[in-house]
């Protein structure tokens, strides 16, 4: 059979396969994504003289079938695998391209694609390597390493890029790629290899001990190779090398030997190269001080405004990390100040950012590193003066920030002037003795400095005309030095640690099982404190759906921050955690900001302080990261609270802040680390369950067969989708309860669906209540569902509800008693707000499922209600803000109660359309609801 005949036979199968896809008579078209009209496809495939372009289109159609139709995907992929062995190179190439378009899901084709890397036809090999990268390059990693020797430059470059996608798995390819970086004749190949080497090495370092001899040796070899590549004749290679050096410097690798060559690249004719070299030098920091003159020249004379802006950023990072400022450094600071008036906005913006970083470092260096105080004040005064110029258009927040810098440094000078005046006084020997004793206190009893400061506070007074405070407190120098602050933390550490662990939110999340997260765009299988040390500088946002483990992760990060093991901590010092879970109420008569007052109140409660903590002490603890503040579920808090969480404002004192939210909060657009917890994938479910049971000490209750049967049961319960950690934990707890029941000859039935799992969880909580006035399970179900609906009915996302509304929803003369039962006995809900007139659920996903059950059981098959509900839902979905969890819960409840309550078919049909991940996007939900409403309205009319 010749190739044309085989090709046509392949097409006939495609016709047959496509003709059996779901077909809607009313629309006269297939309902698959990317529909192709039946008559048009038949006419194309029956053309015996089809050209190559038409053939490629039909291959593409088959790839769409494989990617979107689970019922026929395996058969379609098998045909494409067979086509990889066709005598015609065009057919083999088209089959590889089609498999590449399928991507994840075509793993069965990986062996055949790996063999295709040896195909005699260059185009086939090119398409095969791209397909492997699209699907998953890891299983074929050895074949891809061999492809680095291919005669075709595109195949070699694509092989390097595919290996880059496998991360640390490609460790064995590093020696070959280093050799290619130095000797491959093609510039594009060397460029791809340079980027791949740096990223693979970064992944290796993040998954191993970066101080191990093997990692250190590998770092040196790679840095040496990248440094040599900075002299490569191809500008693309030089750019990729500079980019790799920048990445390694940010990861803490010693790259100082690259500084001379990076300085040369700063003078390259290519503006992009100059930019990457400046970025790398800025990441190196103080060790790159020799490049300050070159960066000054770029900032002043470079014709490219973007290069000038990056040069300003690099200067700021280098100068801010130095202990001393020489004449050249001072001249560079003057240039940065002058750049605030530059006519290019990018130069002004980057110069301001650089000066901000420098100013924040000056205050500590004045005291700890000996930077001249008057010089620092002069720089800040010059910068503040330019920012006040209305013609330059700087924002009021920037002006306020620099005025705050100036005020702090000026106050420091006042302290120094008082000290100097004292020394010149005839009584200097008396004061000398005082300072000697002061030094002794600082070294031996640092906490006494704070106590003496508070004792002297009443003796001070303010000179009203000039606003200056005169007080002997100014004689106590270093009272807020890091040594003193660390001593204060150590004195209260045990009390805070114990009280923090006893908080309900923290105690209920005592068991932590690491799951996959996305940290700053990079997927990490198991997050550790090491991953956060270089990324979590001041602000961290943890966002994701309900039940994904945001609060559990925040609590675990707090435990790392308190760890006795220095290698586990986020910083060199231990930190005291504060958890803010309630809305902040603004009181116009109060002197303190609500957030500051809430932190101080919690800290005093945790430390059992008999006296109030001073504002100055608390501010220094917050600014110097001795207190870690966690704002939990910000997305469910009021707009007034949102306005108080503004880290971009200059007077915002918190420099160690974690925010958890269901939405990706902007936080004033400050620089922040971002973590998004991922759902547990099906292939990792058993590992998660086993780890949880092990930590609970219950794994030995189950044989291996029982354990894997239980995991399979959970997989069947949730269907195709991945699941949240909370759902897996609830199921594990039910599994433990059922097993103990069998052992005690009191077997319990495991739930068959997620709504029943939630109700079983309520039953389990109620089972442990031993008191005489214990309520029955049905009453608990009714009350919990009623309160849950009150918490969700406003915007279909869990928020707080008025206590009065919750009582009305429960109903009956004993409503208050039953609400307290949910709160005090079962710990399902919490009373919040200072006035204690609000309640909220402790677990958001539980609230979503109970509210959905309440809705379905209340309205059953009422089509008129569901149509009105969908219309209302369509308007709310324009800005969903975390409603997806409720919609998924509603879908599960409809499916679980479909037969018992006769839920309308149209509601089931359209909720079933939310199964795949992409279908959960807001635009899809809006369109689905709109189509549903339009269809039903047309049927009614």
For 254-282, write each residue's pLDDT tens digit: 889 999 999 998 898 998 889 999 999 98
pLDDT at 67: 61
* Weakest mean pLDDT among 135-139, 350-354, 418-422, 647-651: 418-422
Structure tokens at 163: 């290996």
Mean pLDDT score, 318-331: 83
Mean pLDDT score, 454-470: 67
- Report the percentage of the chain scoring pLDDT > 90: 19
* Weakest mean pLDDT among 110-119, 329-338, 622-631: 329-338
pLDDT at 129: 93
* Alpha-carbon span 723 to 547, nearest angstrom: 9
Question: Is the pLDDT assigned to residue 239 strictly greater than 70?
Answer: yes
Q: How confident is the model at residue 936 (pLDDT cuts 50, 70, 90)?
A: low
Do residues 128 and 158 lie in contact, with contact meaning Cβ atoms separated by under 8 Å?
no
Q: Residue-wise over 18-42: b if at least 16 C-beta within 10 A, else e?
A: beebeeeeeeeebebeeebebeebe
Mean pLDDT score, 35-59: 43
Top mean pLDDT of 417-426, 443-452, 835-844 is at 835-844
What is the helix, strand, coil percentage profile of the chain, to 5? 65, 5, 30
Mean pLDDT score, 509-534: 90
Mean pLDDT score, 80-90: 88
Q: Residues 749-763: pLDDT tens digits?
A: 778 888 988 888 888
pTM: 0.51
pLDDT at 155: 94
Inter-CA distances, 282 with 233, 292, 654, Å: 24, 10, 26
Question: Is the pLDDT assigned to residue 11 strictly greater than 60?
Answer: no
- Report the percentage of the chain scoring pLDDT > 70: 83
Output DSSP code: residue 823.
Answer: I
pLDDT at 55: 53
Q: How confident is the model at residue 899 (pLDDT cuts 50, 70, 90)?
A: confident
* Weakest mean pLDDT among 204-208, 354-358, 823-827, 838-842: 204-208
Average pLDDT, the chain: 81
- Compute the residue count for the chain: 941
* Weakest mean pLDDT among 25-34, 304-313, 628-637, 682-691: 25-34
Mean pLDDT score, 503-531: 90
pLDDT at 929: 56
* Weakest mean pLDDT among 351-360, 462-471, 548-557: 462-471
Higher-pLDDT residue of 919 and 701 is 701
pLDDT at 658: 94
Region of residue 815 (phi > 0: left; psi between -120 and 50: alpha; otherwise: beta): alpha
Structure tokens at 779: 């009453």
* Weakest mean pLDDT among 71-75, 81-85, 858-862: 71-75
Q: CA triplet 382, 385, 391: central angle to 5 degrees?
A: 130
pLDDT at 61: 67
Question: Is the pLDDT assigned to residue 49 strictly greater than 50?
Answer: no
* Weakest mean pLDDT among 175-189, 509-523, 742-756, 895-909: 742-756
Q: How confident is the model at residue 32 (pLDDT cuts 50, 70, 90)?
A: very low
| Other beta carbons less than 10 A from residue 276's beta carbon | 23
Do residues 31 and 65 lie in contact, with contact meaning Cβ atoms separated by under 8 Å?
no
Do residues 101 and 60 lie in contact, with contact meaning Cβ atoms separated by under 8 Å?
yes
Q: Which helix (H) or strand (E) holds 657?
A: strand 657-661
pLDDT at 880: 52
pLDDT at 673: 92
Q: Which helix (H) or strand (E) holds 254?
A: none
* Weakest mean pLDDT among 116-130, 671-685, 777-791, 924-938: 924-938
Inter-CA distances, 932 with 753, 906, 910, 912, 935, Å: 26, 8, 7, 12, 5
Structure tokens at 865: 């209600």
Q: How confident is the model at residue 765 (pLDDT cuts 50, 70, 90)?
A: confident
Question: Is the pLDDT assigned to residue 213 strictly greater than 50?
Answer: yes
Question: Is the pLDDT assigned to residue 28 strictly greater than 60?
Answer: no
Contacts with 881 (C-beta within 8 Å, 6 or more apart), sequence order = 635, 662, 663, 795, 797
């Amino acid at each position: 059979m010749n190739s044309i005949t085989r090709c046509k036979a392949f097409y006939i199968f495609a016709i047959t396969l496509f003709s059996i896809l779901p077909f809607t008579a009313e629309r006269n078209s297939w309902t698959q994504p990317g529909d192709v009209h039946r008559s048009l496809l038949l006419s194309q495939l029956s053309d015996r003289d089809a050209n190559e372009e038409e053939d490629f289109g039909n291959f593409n159609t088959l790839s769409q079938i494989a990617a979107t139709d689970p019922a026929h995907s395996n058969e379609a992929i098998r045909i494409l695998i067979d086509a990889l062995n066709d005598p015609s190179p065009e057919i083999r190439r088209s089959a590889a391209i089609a498999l590449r378009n399928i991507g994840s899901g075509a793993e069965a084709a990986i062996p055949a694609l790996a063999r295709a890397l040896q195909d005699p036809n260059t185009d086939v090999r090119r398409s095969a390597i791209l397909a492997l990268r699209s699907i998953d390059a890891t299983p074929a990693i050895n074949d891809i390493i061999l492809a680095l020797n291919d005669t075709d430059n595109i195949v070699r470059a694509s092989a390097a890029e595919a290996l880059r996608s496998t991360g640390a798995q490609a460790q064995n390819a590093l020696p070959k790629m280093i050799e290619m970086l130095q000797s491959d004749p093609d510039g594009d190949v060397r460029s791809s290899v340079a980027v791949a080497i740096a990223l693979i090495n970064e992944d290796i370092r993040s998954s191993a001990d970066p101080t191990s001899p093997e990692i250190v040796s590998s770092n040196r070899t790679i840095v040496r190779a990248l440094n040599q590549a900075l002299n490569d004749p191809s500008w693309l290679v030089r750019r990729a090398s500079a980019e790799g050096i920048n990445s390694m410097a940010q990861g803490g690798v010693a790259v100082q030997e690259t500084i001379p060559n990076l300085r040369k690249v700063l003078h390259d004719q290519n503006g992009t190269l100059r930019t990457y070299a400046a970025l790398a030098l800025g990441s190196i920091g103080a060790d790159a001080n020799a490049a300050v003159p070159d960066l000054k020249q770029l900032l002043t004379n470079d014709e490219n405004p973007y290069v000038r802006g990056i040069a300003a950023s690099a200067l700021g990072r280098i100068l801010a990390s130095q202990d001393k400022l020489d004449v050249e450094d001072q001249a560079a600071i003057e240039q940065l100040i002058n750049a605030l008036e530059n006519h290019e906005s990018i130069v002004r913006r980057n110069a301001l950012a650089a000066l901000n970083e420098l100013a924040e470092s000056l205050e500590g260096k004045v005291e700890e590193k000996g930077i001249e105080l008057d010089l620092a004040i002069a720089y800040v005064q010059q910068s503040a003066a330019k920012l006040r110029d209305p013609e330059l258009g700087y924002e009021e927040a920037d002006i306020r920030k620099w005025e705050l810098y100036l005020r702090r440094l000026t106050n420091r000078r006042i302290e120094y002037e008082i000290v100097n005046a004292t020394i010149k006084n005839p009584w200097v020997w008396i004061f000398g003795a005082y300072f000697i004793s002061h030094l002794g206190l600082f070294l031996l009893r640092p906490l006494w400095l704070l106590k003496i400061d508070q004792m002297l506070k009443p003796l001070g007074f303010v000179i009203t005309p000039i606003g200056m405070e005169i007080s002997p407190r100014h004689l106590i120098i270093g009272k807020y030095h890091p040594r003193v602050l660390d001593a204060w933390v150590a004195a209260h550490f045990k009390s805070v640690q114990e009280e923090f662990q006893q908080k309900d939110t923290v105690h209920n999340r005592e068991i932590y099982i690491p799951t996959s997260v996305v940290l700053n765009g990079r997927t990490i299988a198991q997050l550790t404190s090491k991953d956060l040390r270089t990324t979590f500088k001041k602000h961290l946002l943890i966002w994701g759906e309900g039940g994904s483990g945001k609060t559990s992760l925040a609590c675990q990060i707090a435990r790392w921050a308190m760890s006795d093991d220095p290698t586990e901590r986020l910083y060199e010092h231990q930190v005291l955690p504060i958890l803010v879970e309630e809305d902040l109420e603004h009181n116009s008569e109060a002197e303190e900001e609500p957030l500051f007052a809430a932190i101080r109140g919690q800290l005093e409660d945790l430390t059992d302080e008999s006296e109030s903590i001073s504002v100055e002490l608390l501010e220094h603890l917050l600014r110097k990261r001795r207190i870690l503040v966690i704002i939990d579920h910000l997305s469910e808090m009021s707009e007034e609270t949102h306005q108080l969480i503004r880290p971009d404002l200059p007077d915002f004192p918190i420099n160690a802040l974690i925010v958890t939210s269901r939405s990706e909060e902007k936080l004033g657009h400050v620089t922040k680390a971002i973590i998004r917890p991922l759902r547990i994938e099906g292939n990792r479910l058993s590992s998660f369950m086993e780890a949880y049971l092990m930590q609970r000490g219950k794994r030995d209750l189950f044989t291996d067969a029982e354990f894997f049967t239980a995991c399979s049961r959970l997989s069947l319960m949730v269907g195709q989708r991945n699941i949240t950690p909370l759902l897996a934990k609830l199921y594990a707890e039910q599994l433990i309860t059922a097993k103990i029941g069998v052992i005690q000859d009191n077997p319990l039935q495991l739930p068959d669906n997620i709504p029943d799992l939630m109700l079983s969880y309520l039953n389990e909580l109620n089972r442990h209540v031993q008191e005489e006035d214990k309520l029955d399970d049905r009453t608990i179900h009714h009350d919990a569902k009623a309160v849950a609906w009150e918490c969700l009915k406003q915007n279909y996302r869990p928020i707080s509800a008025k206590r009065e509304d919750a009582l009305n929803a429960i109903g009956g003369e004993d409503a208050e008693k039953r609400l307290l039962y949910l709160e005090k006995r079962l710990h399902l809900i919490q009373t919040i707000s200072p006035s204690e007139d609000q309640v909220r659920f402790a677990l958001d996903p539980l609230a979503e499922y109970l509210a959905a059950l309440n809705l379905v059981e209340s309205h059953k098959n009422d089509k008129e209600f569901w149509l009105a509900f969908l219309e209302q839902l369509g308007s709310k979905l324009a800005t969903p803000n975390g409603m997806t969890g409720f919609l998924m819960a509603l879908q599960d409840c409809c499916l679980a109660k479909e037969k018992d309550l006769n839920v309308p078919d149209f509601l089931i049909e359209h909720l079933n359309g939310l199964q795949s991940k992409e279908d959960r996007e807001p635009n899809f939900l809006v369109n689905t609801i709109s189509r549903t409403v339009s269809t039903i309205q047309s049927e009614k009319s």
